């Protein structure tokens, strides 16, 4: 069965035919494809069409698809059993690597998704500080936890409003939403609610409005103002963790949060999330402390084996400079192609994550990201798909480059993109 048949059946049994909304391709105006195989930098759909893949499963596959060392580790773990419900050696070994690699983390708790990681970190921050309010940034996405699925209220630094039906206003009002990179708005929020703010949660490099780096000094500013007011600083490194460097964005920018949320690369393609921080805070997590959080499959041996193999490779091979170089070549190549065609655009890139925005404005927050022409993005996406290049099916997401994207693969991708843009 091909894409159309499989997706037709999917619509019968799954809301929108998917298990996560963005996979329905609603933002790009074409029928979704169904992926059946991945190897290295490539994926194949149910019609047998091959794509060079920059979606990369939304970030986890920094080693590319089906990396032999990861597959071997998963097979070995699987043959010993899928789950025990008690501690297993894999979760201890990977915890040691996380503590060793992520500068601000003394102790870590594994969960099964990035959402669970951020949800647990916010609960811990509230439990640790005894405060109720959370401050987040417009355009940053931290998973679908009620307190974080909140949109900006009217006016700057005001209480949030539910980002979706199903979230009571009483909960949304405990979240203050301000623009990313806006120091004045953060100062305003702290001057109004400072001593009641449990935590500030931020993607240190935003990936969910498209890639938007922090402006010079912004992360340091957040570190200072939270310390001054006794609030905790939470870095949501679900995308950037082990992606931008082995120590993540906090190592790259030299700013230490109080809590770090991890996911994606941490599981190497299997369902893994984690939150961690210094001993004083993490000791409040049950059963050591009173803040409750639990999970049947947390620390699952097969998922841990996948993440462990991935992290071991990254630690030993340290591919980050190469990943940066390759992605620079890709970003510059795409920009050259669009400029030659006279298409207004701007490219934001940090390491091996990048976004092509169809606007001439400098994209520094969600407002400027939204000046992108999403109709042009849709045409761009469909043309690339047609020529065998898969990018995320949304303007407000990040392309990812893996170690499997060799120089030759990047060159081939640019040839396909050039052909696609010619037909735009
Ligand atoms: P998950 O619950 O999807 O594992 O993680 C939530 C999450 C938390 N924090 C950040 C910074 C994230 O980017 C995410 C999830 N990212 C989206 C796309 N950028 C996942 C794709 C999807 O929702 O299908």
Co-location of 379 and 308 in the same domain:
no
Residue 155 has pLDDT above 80, yes or no: no
Q: Which of 58, 119, 307 has most ligand 1 atoms within 8 Å of its beta carbon, as the pocket-test mutant?
A: 58
Q: Decide if 398 is inside a domain.
A: yes
Q: How confident is the model at residue 160 (pLDDT cuts 50, 70, 90)?
A: confident
Give the position, in ligand 1's atom list, of the atom nearest the Cα of 116: 2
Q: Which of 283, 317, 351 is the last residue of a domain?
A: 317
pLDDT digits (tens, 9 = 90+) for 221-240: 999 999 999 999 999 999 99
What value does the mean pLDDT take over residues 359-368? Answer: 97
* Shared domain check, 236 and 150: yes
Structural domain harbouring 139:
68-317
Asked if residue 59 is part of any domain, the answer here is no
d(CA 331, CA 328): 5
The answer to whether 282 and 313 have CB atoms below 8 angstroms apart is no
Ligand 1: does its nearest atom lie under 6 Å from the Cβ of 113? yes
Query: Once rounded to an integer, what is the mean pLDDT over residues 27-40?
Result: 97
Is residue 63 assigned to a domain? no
Label residue 158 by pLDDT band (50, 70, 90): confident
CATH code at 262?
A: 3.40.640.10
Residues 249 and 297 in one domain: yes
Going by pLDDT thresholds of 50, 70 and 90, the confidence category of residue 267 is: very high
Q: Is the pLDDT of residue 35 over 90?
A: yes
Q: How far is the CA of 114 from the centre of ligand 1 (A)?
A: 6
pLDDT > 90: what percent of the chain?
A: 96
Pocket of ligand 1 contains residue 115 by CB under 6 Å: yes
For ligand 1, atom 6, which residue shows the shortest CA distance? 143
* Position 249 confidence tier, pLDDT thresholds 50, 70, 90: very high
Contacts of 143 (CB under 8 A, 6+ apart): 113, 114, 115, 116, 117, 118, 119, 238
> Rounded to an integer, what distance in angstroms lies between the CA atom of residue 422 and that of residue 119?
45
pLDDT mean over 302-324 = 98
The average pLDDT across 299-308 equals 98
> Do 216 and 235 belong together in one domain?
yes
Mode of pairing for the β-strands spanning 35-39 and 42-45: antiparallel
| Ligand 1 centroid from CA 339, angstroms | 31
Ligand 1 neighbour 20 (Cβ under 6 A) = yes
Which of 317, 346, 367 is the last residue in one of the domains?
317
**Co-location of 223 and 113 in the same domain:** yes
Q: Could you tell which of 59, 143, 262, 274 is best to mutate to test the pocket of ligand 1, judged by most ligand atoms within 8 Å of the CB?
A: 143
User: Are residues 100 and 233 located together in one domain of the fold?
Assistant: yes
Looking at 317, 351, 384, the residue that finishes a domain is 317
The CB of 366 under 6 Å from ligand 1? The reply is no
Is 61 inside a domain boundary? no
- Whether residue 150 is contained in a domain is answered as yes
Kindly tell me if the per-residue pLDDT of 157 is higher than 90: no
Q: What's the chain's Rg over C-alpha atoms?
A: 21
**Residue pointed to by tokens 């071997």:** 72
- Residues tagged active-site: 141, 236, 264
Question: How would residue 194 be classed by pLDDT, with cut points 50, 70 and 90?
Answer: confident
Whether 60 maps to a domain, the answer reads no
Residue 129 lies in a domain: yes
Same domain membership, residue 249 and residue 152? yes
pLDDT digits (tens, 9 = 90+) for 50-95: 999 999 999 999 999 999 999 999 999 999 999 999 999 999 999 9
The pLDDT assigned to 298 comes to 98
The pLDDT of residue 141 is: 96
Contact 67, 240 (CB under 8 A): no
Return mean pLDDT, the chain. 97
Rounded to an integer, what distance in angstroms lies between the CA atom of residue 242 and that of residue 237? Answer: 8
According to the model, what pLDDT value does residue 161 have?
A: 85
Q: How far is the CA of 59 from the centre of ligand 1 (A)?
A: 9
3-state secondary structure the chain: CCHHHHHHHHHHHCHHHCCCHHHHCCCCCCCCCCEEEEEECEEEECCCCEEEECCHHHCCCCCCECCHHHHHHHHHHHHCCCCCCCCCHHHHHHHHHHHHHCCCCCEEEEECCHHHHHHHHHHHHHHHHCCCEEEEEECCCCCCCHHHCEECCCCCCEECEECCCCCCHHHHCCEEEEECCCHHHHHHHHHHHHHHEEEEEECCCECECECECCCCCHHHHHHHHHHHHCCEEEEECCCCECCCECCHHHHHHCCCCCEEEECHHHHECECCEEEEECHHHHCCECCCCCECCCCCCCCCHHHHHHHHHHHHHHHHHCCHHHHHHHHHHHHHHHHHHHHHCCCCCEEEEECCEEEEECCCCCCCCHHHHCCCCHHHHHHHHHHHHHHCEECCCCCCCCEECCCCCCHHHHHHHHHHHHHHHHCC
Token duo for residue 69: 């060392």
Confidence (pLDDT) at 334: 98
Q: Is 203 in the pocket of ligand 1 (CB under 6 A)?
A: yes
Q: Are residues 276 and 330 in the same domain?
A: no
CA 141 to ligand 1 centroid distance, Å: 7
Rounded Cα distance, 5 and 8, in Å: 5
41 and 73 share one domain: no
Q: Are residues 107 and 219 in the same domain?
A: yes
Ligand 1 proximity of 263 Cβ (cutoff 6 Å): yes
How confident is the model at residue 154, as a pLDDT?
A: 74
| Cα–Cα nearest to 130, from 231, 202, 226 | 231
The answer to whether residues 232 and 199 belong to one domain is: yes
CA of 117 to the centre of ligand 1 (A): 11
Work out how many domains the chain is built from and give that number. Answer: 2
Using the predicted structure, report yes or no on whether residue 156 has a pLDDT greater than 80: no
Same domain? 262 vs 363: no
Question: Tens digit of pLDDT for each residue in 391-423?
Answer: 999 999 999 999 999 999 999 999 999 999 999
Index of the ligand 1 atom closest to the CA of residue 271: 4
């Amino acid at each position: 069965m091909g894409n159309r048949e499989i997706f037709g059946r999917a619509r019968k049994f799954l809301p929108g035919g998917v298990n996560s909304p963005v996979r329905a391709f609603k933002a790009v105006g074409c029928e979704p494809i169904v992926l059946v195989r991945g190897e290295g930098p490539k994926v194949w759909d149910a019609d047998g069409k091959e794509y060079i893949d920059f979606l990369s499963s939304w970030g986890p596959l920094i080693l590319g698809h089906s990396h032999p060392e990861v597959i071997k580790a998963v097979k070995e773990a699987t043959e010993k059993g899928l789950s025990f419900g008690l501690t297993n050696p894999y979760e201890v070994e990977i915890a040691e690597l996380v503590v060793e690699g992520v500068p601000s983390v003394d102790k870590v708790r594994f969960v099964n998704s990035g959402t669970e990681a951020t949800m647990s970190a916010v609960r811990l921050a509230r439990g640790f500080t005894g405060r109720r309010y959370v401050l987040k940034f417009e355009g940053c996405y931290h998973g679908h936890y009620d307190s974080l699925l909140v949109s900006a209220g009217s006016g700057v630094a005001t209480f949030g409003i539910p980002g979706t039906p199903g979230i009571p206003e009483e909960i949304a009002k405990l979240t203050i939403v301000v623009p990313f990179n806006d120091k004045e708005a953060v100062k305003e929020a702290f001057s109004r609610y400072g001593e009641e703010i449990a935590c500030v949660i931020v993607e240190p490099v935003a990936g969910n409005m498209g890639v938007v780096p922090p402006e010079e000094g912004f992360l340091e500013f957040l570190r200072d103002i939270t310390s001054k007011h006794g609030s905790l600083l939470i870095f949501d490194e679900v995308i950037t963790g082990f992606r931008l460097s082995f120590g993540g964005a906090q190592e790259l920018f030299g700013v230490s949060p109080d809590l770090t949320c991890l996911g994606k690369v941490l599981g190497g393609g299997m369902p893994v999330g984690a939150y961690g921080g210094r001993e004083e805070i993490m000791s409040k997590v049950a059963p050591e402390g009173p803040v409750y959080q639990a999970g049947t499959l947390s620390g699952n041996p097969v998922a841990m084996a996948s993440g462990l193999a991935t992290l071991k490779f990254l630690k030993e091979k340290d591919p980050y400079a190469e990943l940066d170089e390759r992605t620079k070549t890709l970003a510059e190549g795409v920009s050259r192609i669009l400029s030659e065609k006279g298409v207004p655009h701007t490219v934001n890139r940090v390491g091996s994550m990048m976004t092509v925005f169809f606007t001439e404005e400098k994209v520094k927050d969600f407002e400027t990201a939204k000046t992108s022409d999403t109709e042009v993005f849709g045409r761009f996406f469909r043309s690339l798909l047609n020529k065998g290049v898969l990018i995320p099916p949304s303007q407000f997401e990040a392309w990812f480059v893996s170690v499997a994207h060799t120089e030759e693969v990047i060159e081939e991708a640019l040839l396909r993109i050039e052909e696609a843009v010619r037909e735009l």
